């Protein structure tokens, strides 16, 4: 199956409401039970039921068990008629190991709400590129959800309502002015860059691209953005949104701001660019954004032009 263009028709998962059952998996790094327990309690507080993957607490070096075990949890919960959505427990590393083992037809046959960020960007990308399914970049069960460090109303609206709506955020900086419309895609910059040259990276034609990361130095961000530019990834991008990028500095007295680097790296693109959108790794409560739906980018943030669920 070829990669899905950003302008091609995508599949929207069914909306889920109170009482829906959410499956929880760890496709990347190991998770601590105490944090999962807190995240599950938070989901239950909002009216959801929860089912944990059978291999959720396994460990193998720096991953949550073997690739086979992590994939088994993903496929089992996805194919289960008793599970309405799948939320990832955390990121770290390991999601890319699953990509060559995934049968994309399994996901396309039964679209579901799939939520994650950070290293899970690899799975979000593959769902859109290989299966054409809208997915959700946002809080994870053993991290932001466990700490109640996420915008609850934003998440619930996106996965429960078929209507378009606002994804406005305060404190955004305009690096290059303008407005744009396109299909939203993106995630963790390190993972997006690592997927270049694979069949699991969606095409960026006529898209609004969101990129964020954490604990990478400005020159490393410069290098990754340069790689994407040289690969032609930015050629048809209509607008670019950067996240808050916490801890992305060389040292406290480096003499320049990250925004200066981002502004210079994107100057020749000739498109609107903003900085500071709170999704993924953030300094404030994280927001959820729907990947694969059409949005409008302006000075206040993003507005969805269609619902993210069916």
Residues 3-29 pLDDT 10s: 544 445 799 999 999 999 999 999 999
Question: What average pLDDT score do residues 227-248 get?
Answer: 97
> Exactly one of 117, 200, 212, 233 is catalytic; which is it?
212
Tokens of 292: 């694969």
The backbone region for 243, taken as left when phi is positive above 0, alpha when psi lies in -120 to 50, beta otherwise, is beta
212 a catalytic residue = yes
29 a catalytic residue = no
Per-residue HEC secondary structure of 126-169 comes to: HHHHHHCECEEECCCCCCCCCCCCECHHHHHHHHHCCCCCEEEC
Residues of the chain with pLDDT > 90, as a percent, come to 93
Residue whose pair of structure tokens reads 């808050």 in the numeric block: 244
CATH pick for 21-160 out of 3.40.50.1100, 3.40.50.80, 3.40.50.10740, 3.10.580.10: 3.40.50.10740
Residues 172-217 pLDDT 10s: 999 999 999 999 999 999 999 999 999 999 989 999 999 999 999 9
Residue 251 near residue 218 (C-beta atoms within 8 A): no
Question: What average pLDDT score do residues 163-169 get?
Answer: 94
- The whole-number pLDDT of residue 8 equals 57
Enumerate the H helices of the chain as residue ranges: 33-45, 67-79, 96-99, 104-109, 121-131, 152-160, 189-194, 218-230, 258-266
Residues 271-281 pLDDT 10s: 999 999 999 99
Higher pLDDT, 2 or 216: 216
Query: Full-prediction pTM beyond 0.85?
Result: yes
Residues 260-299 pLDDT 10s: 999 999 999 999 999 999 999 999 999 999 999 999 999 8
What is the spatial distance between Cα 295 and Cα 108, in angstroms, rounded to a whole number?
23
Residues 76-135 pLDDT 10s: 999 999 999 999 999 999 999 999 998 899 999 999 999 999 999 999 999 999 999 999
> Exactly one of 5, 29, 104, 118 is catalytic; which is it?
118
Annotated domain spans of the chain: 21-160, 166-304
- The whole-number pLDDT of residue 7 equals 42
163 a catalytic residue = no
Residue 42 near residue 146 (C-beta atoms within 8 A): yes
> Exactly one of 55, 137, 200, 281 is catalytic; which is it?
281
Taking all residues of the chain, what is their mean pLDDT, rounded to a whole number? 95
Is 3.30.420.40 the CATH classification of the domain at 166-304?
Answer: no
């Amino acid at each position: 199956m070829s990669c899905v263009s950003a302008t091609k028709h995508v599949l929207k998962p069914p909306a889920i409401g109170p009482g829906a059952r959410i499956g929880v998996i760890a496709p990347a790094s190991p998770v601590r039970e105490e944090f999962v327990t807190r995240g599950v309690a938070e989901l239950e507080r909002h009216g959801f039921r929860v089912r944990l993957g059978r291999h959720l607490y396994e460990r193998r070096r720096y991953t949550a068990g073997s690739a086979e075990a992590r994939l088994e949890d993903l496929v089992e919960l996805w194919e289960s008629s008793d599970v309405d959505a799948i939320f990832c427990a955390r990121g770290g590393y390991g999601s890319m190991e699953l990509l060559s083992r995934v049968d994309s037809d399994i996901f396309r046959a039964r679209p579901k709400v799939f939520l994650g960020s950070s290293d899970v960007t690899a799975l979000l990308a593959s769902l859109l590129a290989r299966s054409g399914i809208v997915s959700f970049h946002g809080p994870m069960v053993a991290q932001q959800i466990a700490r109640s460090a996420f915008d609850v109303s934003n998440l619930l609206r996106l996965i429960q309502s078929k209507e378009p709506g606002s994804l406005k955020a305060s404190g955004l900086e305009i690096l290059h002015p303008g407005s744009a419309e396109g299909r939203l895609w993106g995630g963790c910059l390190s993972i997006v860059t690592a997927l270049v040259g694979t069949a699991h990276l969606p095409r960026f034609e006529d898209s609004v691209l969101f990129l964020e990361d954490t604990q990478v130095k400005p020159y490393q961000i410069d290098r990754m953005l340069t790689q994407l530019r040289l690969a032609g990834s930015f050629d048809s991008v209509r607008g670019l949104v950067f996240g808050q990028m916490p801890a992305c500095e060389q040292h406290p007295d480096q003499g320049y701001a990250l925004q200066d680097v981002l502004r210079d790296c994107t100057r020749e693109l000739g498109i609107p660019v903003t900085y500071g959108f709170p999704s993924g790794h953030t300094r404030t409560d994280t927001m959820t954004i729907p990947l694969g739906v059409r949005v409008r980018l302006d000075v206040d943030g993003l507005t969805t032009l269609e619902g993210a669920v069916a």
